[in-house]
């Protein structure tokens, strides 16, 4: 009798619930907030990071701030370093932020973002730098404290 050989999956496996929860707790700790405070401002649904609290500023500033937070959450919580423009755009759309000039605005902040791919739009992928992560942790802490001041 021949044994069946299991073929490797071509898609990335989703994180199991306990690992996801542990990563969210680590993320909250890095932000200097409680797990509960994090859940008040961020939702992860179908591998889309949703920031529930609006950012202040121009559209470009909102794109930069939200992209920082989303890319950092992908890196720390979902353990995905490079994120497609399509996935990042979905998080921005959910927050009601225009996608106008997104690649240009992120490229102008090379201390925060790394971009790979050619052209613009769907062909690009983004990742957050260590400096960008530290800044994102501070932004999320500020958002959380504004929602639930102590």
Whole-angstrom distance, CA of residue 113 vs CA of residue 128? 5
Percent of the chain exceeding pLDDT 70 equals 87
Q: Considering the chain, what is the average pLDDT of its residues?
A: 87
Whole-angstrom distance, CA of residue 11 vs CA of residue 90? 20
Q: What is the pLDDT of residue 14?
A: 52
pTM of the model: 0.85
pLDDT classification of 46: cutoffs 50, 70, 90? confident
Burial of 116 (0-12, 13-18, 19+ CB in 10 A): exposed
What tokens appear for 15 in the block? 């994180």
Q: Which CATH fold would you assign to the domain 17-147?
A: Arc Repressor Mutant, subunit A (1.10.10)
Residues 6+ apart with CB under 8 A from 61: 55
């Amino acid at each position: 009798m021949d044994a069946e050989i299991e073929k490797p999956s071509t898609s990335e496996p989703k994180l199991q619930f306990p690992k996801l929860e542990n990563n969210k707790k680590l993320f909250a700790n890095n932000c200097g907030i409680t797990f509960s405070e994090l859940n008040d401002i961020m939702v992860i649904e179908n591998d889309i990071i949703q920031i529930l609290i609006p950012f202040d500023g121009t559209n470009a500033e909102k794109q930069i701030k939200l992209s920082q937070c989303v890319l950092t959450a992908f890196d720390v919580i979902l353990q995905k370093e490079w994120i497609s423009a399509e996935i990042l755009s979905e998080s921005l759309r959910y927050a009601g932020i225009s996608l106008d000039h997104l690649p240009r605005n992120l490229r102008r902040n090379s201390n925060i973002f790394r971009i790979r791919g050619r052209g613009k739009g769907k062909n690009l992928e983004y990742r957050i730098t260590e400096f960008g992560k530290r800044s994102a942790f501070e932004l999320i802490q500020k958002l959380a404290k504004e929602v639930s001041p102590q």
